[in-house]
């Protein structure tokens, strides 16, 4: 039994370092569970709610987790800044109760809708300026091939894209792609860039691919390449998870722990 001022012997010193991890992103199942715990929605509304978030490109489904898009982040920032009393868990839960307990004329629901509509109209000009500022937050030193005016980065329904600053007189636009700092494992000339499938799923392809050129490089991968060759067969290694902690070789099955990635994504015009 220890008492005050007792001397203790150091038997072993174990130096360990722990890094705090952010909470994991919601999956569809954990999001439904959170809605149920907070009294938001009903079983019949959970699936349409998630479907709306995906259809409007507010979130994407990456490795079964819901990740916010740039559009979703901008919309969230605008709503939280201008409608803090409405974009609130307590308000939403109370609104559900108000709809349920109100009399047949739904007076409570009508008052809530009228209040939101009135506030939206009074702040429409402010919201418009905020949205425009977010869309033109960055510019590129490139010029439109049609009119020669500077091209700027805009934020559309499907993310960022390059468009002419002279819109609507000039409607020239092109995709804005993100390179990951890894040369193409197939052609060795292009660079690997992030792309999106028609359903919004993230994949990786060669920057030299052209839809109208069958001779262009057609390298694609659902998993992010590391840029390092497999030590057993020489084929390119890919990350097996979003945190990039493990790598594998799709050819020989080699697996290992990944070294810390130093690739810095950079947006480039297509």
In contact, 153 and 140? CB cutoff 8 Å:
yes
Read off the pLDDT of residues 127-163 as tens digits, 9 standing for 90 and up: 655 555 554 444 445 777 788 888 877 766 666 778 8
CA-to-CA distance for 240 and 228, rounded, in angstroms?
14
Position 165 confidence tier, pLDDT thresholds 50, 70, 90: confident
Q: How confident is the model at residue 31 (pLDDT cuts 50, 70, 90)?
A: very high
pLDDT at site 97: 65
Among 55-69, 133-147, 236-250, where is mean pLDDT lowest? Answer: 133-147
Among residues of the chain, what percentage have pLDDT more than 90? 6
Distances (CA, A) of 180 to 7, 67, 204, 250: 56, 19, 9, 20
Number of H helices, E strands in the chain: 6, 14
**Whether 157 contacts 164, CB under 8 Å:** no
The answer on pLDDT for 260 being more than 60 is no
Residue in this structure with the two tokens 């070294």, named with its chain if needed: 259
Helices 70-82 and 124-135 sit at what angle, rounded to 10 degrees? 150
Q: Give the pLDDT mean for 5-17.
A: 84
Residue 157 has phi, psi (to 5 degrees) of -60, -35
Q: What is the rounded distance in angstroms from the CA atom of residue 234 to the CA atom of residue 246?
A: 17
- pLDDT given at position 173: 84
The reply to whether the predicted model has a pTM over 0.75 is no
Q: Which of 118-132, 220-234, 242-256 has the lowest mean pLDDT?
A: 118-132
80: left (phi over 0), alpha (psi -120 to 50) or beta: alpha
| Collapsed DSSP state (helix, strand, coil) of residue 141 | strand
Question: What is the reported pLDDT for 96?
Answer: 65
């Amino acid at each position: 039994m220890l008492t005050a001022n007792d001397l203790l012997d150091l038997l072993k010193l174990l130096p360990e370092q722990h890094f705090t991890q952010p909470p994991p992103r919601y999956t569809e199942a954990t999001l439904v569970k959170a809605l149920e715990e907070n009294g938001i929605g009903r079983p019949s509304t959970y699936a349409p709610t998630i479907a709306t978030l995906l259809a409007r490109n507010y979130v994407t489904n990456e490795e079964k987790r819901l990740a916010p898009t740039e559009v979703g982040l901008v919309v969230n920032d605008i709503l939280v800044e201008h409608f803090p009393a409405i974009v609130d868990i307590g308000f939403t839960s109370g609104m559900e109760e108000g709809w349920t307990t109100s009399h047949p004329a739904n007076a409570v629901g009508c008052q809530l809708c009228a209040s939101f509509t009135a506030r939206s109209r009074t702040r429409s000009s402010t919201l418009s300026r905020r949205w425009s500022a977010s869309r033109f937050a960055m510019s590129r030193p490139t010029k439109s091939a049609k009119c020669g005016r500077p091209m700027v980065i805009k934020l559309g329904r499907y993310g960022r894209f390059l468009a002419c600053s002279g819109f609507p007189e000039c409607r020239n636009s092109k995709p804005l792609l993100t390179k990951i700092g890894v040369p193409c494992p197939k052609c060795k000339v292009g660079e690997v860039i992030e792309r999106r499938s028609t359903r919004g799923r993230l994949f990786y392809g060669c920057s030299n691919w052209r839809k109208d050129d069958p001779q262009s490089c057609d390298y694609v991968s659902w998993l992010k390449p590391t840029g390092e060759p497999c030590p057993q067969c020489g084929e390119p290694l890919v990350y097996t998870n979003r945190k990039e902690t493990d790598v594998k070789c799709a050819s020989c099955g080699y697996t290992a722990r990944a070294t810390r990635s130093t690739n810095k994504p950079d947006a480039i015009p297509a």
